[in-house]
Each structure stands twice: as C-alpha cells, then as structure tokens.
C-alpha cells in the first residue's frame, strides 16, 4: 500500500488529537462532580485522572476497542479497496476531534462515543454504501445511549435517597455519616475492583474464575474501606462550621468518599472511552501491517494504548476546566454527598457496560446521574436552561461528526488516489 508510513503518522496525530478531545470533554465531565462539589481541586482532579484514566485505559481498554473497530461497519466490503477504510478512519478521527474541540470550547459536555460513531457511520454510508453500515449494531448502540443515562439517573436518585434517609434526615447526621460512609466506600472499591478482575487482568495474562474475581473484589473493597475509615478519623470537626451550613462537617466525611469515587470514575472512564480514540488507529495499523488485508486479527500494540491514555490526560490538563464548570456547577448545586451519588452510580453503569463491550456514553451516564440527584431534591433544583443546551448539543453531535467525516473522507480520497 502506497503512503503507508504517511497513513500511520496521520493516524497517530489524529488519534492523539481525538484522545486530547476526550480528555478536554469527557474526562472533564467525569471529574466535574468532584470539583463542583468542592471535594477536590482542579489540580487534584488532574492528578487523579492522570493515574486512574491511564490505568483504566492501559489495563482494561481492550474489550470496547473491538466493538468500535469491528462492529459498526462491514469490513468485508473493503477487501478489494482497503485504502478506503483507511481514509474513512482518518476522516472519522479528525472530524470527531474537531467537534470535541468546538464543544469543549463552549463548555458543552457532549459524547465522544456519539462523535466517533457518527463520523464512522457518515463516511461509510455516504462514501462507500448504505449497506456498509451494520445498522442493527448501530441500533443497539443508540438504545444504550438512552438506557445509560436512565439507569445512572435511577441509581443516583435512590443512592441519594438512601443518604438522605440514613444520614442527612436523622437526629445525628455526623455520627451516622461516620457509621455509613465506610459502607459506601466499600461499595465503590468493590465495583472498581470487579471490572479490573473481569477485564483488565486478562490483558496481563491472569485468568481468574468468577468466584476468585468476586473474592478478590471483596478483599480490595475492604482494604479501601479501611483506608477510608482512617481518613475519616483524621477529619478535624469544626462545630462552628455547622452554624452556616447544617451539614458542613457531614460533607467533610463525604469528601473522603468523593476521592474514592473520583478514582473509580476515572478508571471506569479510561477503560471504556479510550477505544473511541485508539479503535480507528488500531484498525489503520492492522490494515497496513497485514498488507491491506482486512479482518486478520492482530494484537493491539501497547504503544497505541499509551498514545490514547497520554492524549486523554493532556486534554484534561490543557482544556478541561470549561466542561468541569458546566457539569459540576451549572446543572444543579452539588455537595460531596450529592456528587458521590452521581459518581458511584455513573461508575457502576459504565463498569456494567464496559464489561459487556457496549460503547455507552460516559457523558450521558454522568449527566443522567446528576439529573437523578437533582430530581431527588425536586425539579426546581435543576437549571433547565443548562439542561436544554446540553440535550441540544447531544442531538447536534451525531450529524456534526457525520458531515465533517464525509467531507474529510473525500478530501483524503482525492489527495491520495
């Protein structure tokens, strides 16, 4: 194949740009609840994301990559013209990256999954043929976009109601916070560990049985809970603080929990969304390494995972503040107890989806969770103008990705053929 090194170089640059966009937009909204609730600073959010996003992408990022790379379009239609698939994947990466940059600039929390799938469907349907798209697969992905915010919203609603029942609406909120928050910390640790056992460890050659996985996850949950209890005991209680805000000291206890859920959300996000950037890159490399043959299996190169994980962290660091502000402060007023309910329910939803290989949108999941917590406090707690803008940006994402992708596909086709 002519220009093969040019294609690989372009794939790496566009893939890095796409990963940067994921960092600026998706990771920013994954960290938004923690920062918006005041549990952690932006600097701490970047450090947590750098470690846990990287770990999630690197250890557990392989499962979803397969869905993005092979599931949406019929690769067999490109057997005689593999270069068209290369042009298409390059166009999809560039289109999705540009849309994410525009959305991040305006502070819109859009879906990176929407962006890349819209772009892939666009070039395949217009540039090749309508039959090139596996519409049944696209249909199941679209359904997951509706299901994920609904599931996260319901989970966060009931989680926050449980916080209200057992802690906030009691005679001794602080005492009950110290009693019940360790249980929530165990839950968070257990869920994070479980996805690592089921998915991540297969990549490093450890194949555990279901019983071993659950046992290890319980153990990890208990260890994280012990650290949480120690952190809670070290909190300095200020009786005067409760005069201005009745739950000031209770929220300090929940801030410990928010750090745990922020780590979990970052890990879950890294495992699920790195595929959006590296899936098309992996497809291009696979085609070139196999001399244009499509469909041959090839191991995902480690450096491609590193490229995706590194780009995500850079995007958050350089451009993530705007989307953090939208999710963390503008939808509804968040405190650590509310933010915890958002993040744990969103992380649980992402982990379930990641384990089944379904490329859900972390953005939809998290915004759904924030709406769920807002609803638990009454509809008046939500800023409906911001909610409307977010929903509108979600609707625009698919056609924006598709139109730009079609345009870039024909430009690349004209340049290289």
332-371 pLDDT tens trace: 888 888 888 888 888 788 777 766 766 677 788 888 888 8
- Does residue 25 sit in helix, strand or coil? helix
Mean pLDDT score of the chain: 82
227-257 pLDDT tens trace: 989 988 888 887 776 665 667 788 888 888 8
Q: How confident is the model at residue 13, as a pLDDT?
A: 95
DSSP string of 300-340, one letter each residue: PPHHHHHHHHHHHHHHHHHH-HHHHHIIIIISB---HHHHH
Average pLDDT over residues 37-43: 83
pTM greater than 0.75: yes
Residues 126 and 335: their CA atoms lie apart, in Å, by 47
Q: How confident is the model at residue 299, as a pLDDT?
A: 59
Average pLDDT over residues 378-386: 79
Residue that has been written with the tokens 């929390």 in this structure: 109
- Does residue 133 sit in helix, strand or coil? strand
pLDDT value at 95 more than 90 = yes
pLDDT value at 71 more than 70 = no
382, β-bridge pairs: 332
Residues 343 and 258: their CA atoms lie apart, in Å, by 8
Residue 77 buriedness (CB in 10 A; 0-12 / 13-18 / 19+):
middle
Chain-centre distance for alpha carbon 390: 17
165-188 pLDDT tens trace: 999 888 888 889 889 989 988 988
Q: Mean pLDDT check: name the lowest of 19-23, 118-122, 315-319, 328-332.
A: 328-332
pLDDT bucket at 329, cuts 50 / 70 / 90 = confident
> Closest Cα to residue 293, out of 302, 301, 283, 304?
283
pLDDT value at 201 more than 90 = no
Q: How confident is the model at residue 134, as a pLDDT?
A: 83
User: 286 vs 7, 20, 202, 413, CA distance in Å?
Assistant: 12, 23, 21, 20
212-221 pLDDT tens trace: 888 988 999 9
Q: How confident is the model at residue 26, as a pLDDT?
A: 82
250-283 pLDDT tens trace: 888 888 888 887 887 788 777 767 777 888 888 8
């Amino acid at each position: 194949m002519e220009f093969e090194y040019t294609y690989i170089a372009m794939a790496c640059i566009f893939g890095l740009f796409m990963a940067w966009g994921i960092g600026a937009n998706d990771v920013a909204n994954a960290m938004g609840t923690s920062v918006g609730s005041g549990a952690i600073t932006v600097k701490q959010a970047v450090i947590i994301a750098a470690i846990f996003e990287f770990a999630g992408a690197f250890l557990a990022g392989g499962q979803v990559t397969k869905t993005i790379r092979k599931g949406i379009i019929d690769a067999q239609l490109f057997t005689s013209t593999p270069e068209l698939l290369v042009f298409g994947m390059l166009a999809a990466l560039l289109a999705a990256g540009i849309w994410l940059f525009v959305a991040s600039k305006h502070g819109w929390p859009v879906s990176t999954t929407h962006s890349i799938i819209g772009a892939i469907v666009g070039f395949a349907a217009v540039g090749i043929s309508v039959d090139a798209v596996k519409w049944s697969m696209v249909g199941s992905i679209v359904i997951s976009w509706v299901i994920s915010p609904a599931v996260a919203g319901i989970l966060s609603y009931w989680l926050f109601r449980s916080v209200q029942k057992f802690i906030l609406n009691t005679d001794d909120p602080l005492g009950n916070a110290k009693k019940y928050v360790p249980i929530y910390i165990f839950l968070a640790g257990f869920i994070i560990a479980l996805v690592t056992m089921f998915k991540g460890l297969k990549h490093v050659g450890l194949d555990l049985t279901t019983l071993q996985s659950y046992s290890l996850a319980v153990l990890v949950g208990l260890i994280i809970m012990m650290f949480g209890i120690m952190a809670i005991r070290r909190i300095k209680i200020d009786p005067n603080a409760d005069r201005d805000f009745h739950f000031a000291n209770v929220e300090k206890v929940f801030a410990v929990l928010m750090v745990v859920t922020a780590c979990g959300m970052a890990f879950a996000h890294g495992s699920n969304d790195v595929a959006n950037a590296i899936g098309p890159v992996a497809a291009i490399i696979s085609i070139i390494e196999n001399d244009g043959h499509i469909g041959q299996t090839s191991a995902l190169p480690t450096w491609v995972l590193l490229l995706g994980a590194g780009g995500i962290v850079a995007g958050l660091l350089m451009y993530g503040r705007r989307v953090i502000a939208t999710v963390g402060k503008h939808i509804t007023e968040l405190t650590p107890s509310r933010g915890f309910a958002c993040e744990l329910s969103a992380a649980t939803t992402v982990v379930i989806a990641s384990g089944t290989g379904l490329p859900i949108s972390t953005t939809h999941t998290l915004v759904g969770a924030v709406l769920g917590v807002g609803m638990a406090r009454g509809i008046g707690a939500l800023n409906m103008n911001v909610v409307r803008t977010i929903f509108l940006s979600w609707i625009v994402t698919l056609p924006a990705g598709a139109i730009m992708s079609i345009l870039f596909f024909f430009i690349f086709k004209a340049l290289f053929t």
